[in-house]
Structure 1
Amino acid sequence: MNTERYNLLLADDDDDDCLFFKEALDETSINAALSIVHDGVQLMDYLKTNSSNNFPDVLFLDLNMPRKNGIECLAEIKADEKLKNLPVIIFSTSLDSEIVNNLYKNGASYYIRKPGDFSKLKKVIEIALTTASENNFRQPERAHFILQP
């Protein structure tokens, strides 16, 4: 993984959330390039067709998307031999404990509840990438799965 510059992919159907994420990322100290897809079908096409030099280091994945939701995408990613090691950080407005537990069991790296506050969003993006990088993007113990600003 390139620790100098992250190649990030955001999968989210909400244009405002995408812009909010991009602006927050731009204001962090993290050196990153951001690509965005707007639904699960676009996401899976992107992952299967991008070359290794343009492949994301980390995927920020929204759960509630049209055509194919985040839960379906996570299952497909983890079942694919070429994609299964991609770190997936769930980035969603919901915080249903049963869903969070299933995401953990299905191999998501971390879970972030989307903050509505810009400064909290900047902080949680930095926390996510710093914590995940320090942990070599391996899934943490369940108690450390949910990241908060």
Structure 2
Amino acid sequence: MTKQIYNILLADDDNDDCSFFEEALDEISLATTLVTVNDGVQLMEFLSDKTTDNLPDLLFLDLNMPRKNGSECLAEIRQIDKLKDFPIVIFSTSLDSEIVDVMYNKGATFYIRKPGDFSKLKSVIENALIIASENNFKQPERTHFVIQP
């Protein structure tokens, strides 16, 4: 089942990456809203102010951020009752299989390697939204954890 509007939260400290992400959202066929935070501390503050009813549909989480990195945020989020099932897509430049395994085991919903190409970025974001929605925003088997453009 595809949602009508996807409310997306992006946690990424790179302003260029945030701009490309927002531009890509504007060009995909799905309706979206976007809120951006620039580090893990801002992310955790943002989430702590939300109730279960007004959480975003999906968090795209960069691993390499200052103050609190994505891995620390993921672990912390999974310890909070209202957030234990919150859908989180790791969105990183790395595709190291050990890191991917750790993120899977920590409870990330999906993993995406940030593509350098804008058309691939649009494709992978749209694919992530569709696949996550079809999967009821739940973590799939490990073989389907990494989403490719």
User: TM range, normalised to the smaller chain?
Assistant: over 0.9
Q: Is the 8 A contact 2:85 2:138 kept in 1?
A: no
For 1:138, the equivalent position in structure 2 comes to: 138
**Aligned residue pairs, count:** 149
Aligned ranges for residues 32-47 of structure 1 at < 5 Å?
32-47=32-47
How far off is 1:51 after superposition?
Answer: 4.3
Identify if the C-alpha distance between structure 1 residues 48 and 81 changes in structure 2 by more than 3 Å, giving closer, same or farther: same
Percent identity, aligned pairs only, is 66
Q: Which runs of 5+ in 1 are unaligned?
A: none
* TM-score normalised according to structure 2 size: 0.96
How far off is 1:52 after superposition?
Answer: 4.7
* TM-score normalised according to structure 1 size: 0.96
* Structure 1 Cα separation of the partners of residues 147 and 83 of structure 2: 23
User: What do residues 76-124 of structure 1 show as CA deviations (whole Å, max 9, x unaligned)?
Assistant: 0111101111100000001111111010011100000000000000000
For 2:122, the equivalent position in structure 1 comes to: 122
Q: RMSD of the TM alignment (CA)?
A: 1.4
For 2:24, the equivalent position in structure 1 comes to: 24
* Structure 1 Cα separation of the partners of residues 113 and 35 of structure 2: 20
Q: Is the 8 A contact 1:7 1:54 kept in 2?
A: no
* Structure 1 Cα separation of the partners of residues 76 and 53 of structure 2: 22
* Structure 1 Cα separation of the partners of residues 140 and 55 of structure 2: 23
User: What do residues 13-66 of structure 1 show as CA deviations (whole Å, max 9, x unaligned)?
Assistant: 000000000000110011110000000000000000134554211000000000
Q: What SS does the aligned partner of 1:75 have?
A: helix
